[in-house]
Homo-oligomer: A and B are copies of this chain.
Amino acid sequence: MSSPVEPGDPVQPVVDLLGVLSYAELTAFDRLAEDARLAPTLEGRSALARMAAAEIAHHGRLWARLVELGVSPAAAMAPFVAPLDAFHDSTRAGTWLEGLVKAHVGDGLATDFYREVAAFLPPADRDLVLEVLADPGHADFAVREVRAAIAADRTVAGRLALWARRLVGEALTQSQVVIAERDGLAELIIAGTGSLAGVGELLQRIMAAHTERMRALGLNG
């Protein structure tokens, strides 16, 4: 694997991106493992537990890459523990369906954002990030379950749409905290997009994909 980043001389924004992603996968694991216990059937519980295990496989890949770069994975993750924990603590799913919407809508937003940023990374890291961002089958599962629940009870859609809006608000708040504290990440995004107008276009692409996901779930609100 070739990489412009040499061990002992890692570029801080690359380390930041790998660090935040590695911790994000660990928290995604926790959340999926918790939500699995809310499943109404053993089939659903098993499916979510398997998705949690897939997140940990990704976490392990990022961990190994950080070690390869001569960086302590725990140190690389540390700056992101507080904001990611704050996001999850303020958006704890109370029901099986809220958990599925959170996983699909919240992870979808985060994935789109990380994917955009990955485009500005050196090739080896870009490929690794794109690989760990691949969906472990969660999207289809969430869409199927949520649409079935809405078909059975149409009032569910309004409540879940409100929930999704709260998730987006909290996610924006916490991303601002992260970017304000990590200059390197902000510079990487501005340099990569070329200008502030480029940043605006990046955000528009992310919001368009979000709207599409909401529609797929049957949440047009």
Contacts and interface: CB of A to CB of B under 8 A. Distances in A.
A99 interface: no
A210 to B, nearest CB: 28
A26 B45 CA distance: 9
A52 to B, nearest CB: 7
Interface string A28-66: 011001101100011101100110110011011001000
Interface residues of A, number: 27
Interface string A116-159: 00000000000000000000000000000000000000000000
A74 B42 contact: yes
Contacts of A49: 26, 29-30, 56, 59
A77 B39 CA distance: 15
A60 B46 CA distance: 8
A99 to B, nearest CB: 14
A34 B36 CA distance: 12
Nearest to A74: B42
A78 interface: yes
Contacts of A37: 30
A34 B33 CA distance: 8
B46 A78 contact: no
A199 to B, nearest CB: 31
B42 A73 contact: yes
Given A36-B30, A52-B53, A53-B56, A63 B46 contact: yes
A26 B53 CA distance: 11
Report which residue of A37, A41, A50 has the largest number of chain B beta carbons within 10 angstroms of its beta carbon: A50
B41 A74 contact: yes
B26 A52 contact: no
A50 B56 contact: yes
A188 B45 CA distance: 30
Contacts of A53: 29, 52-53, 56-57
Contacts of A50: 56, 59-60
Contacts of A30: 33, 36-37, 49
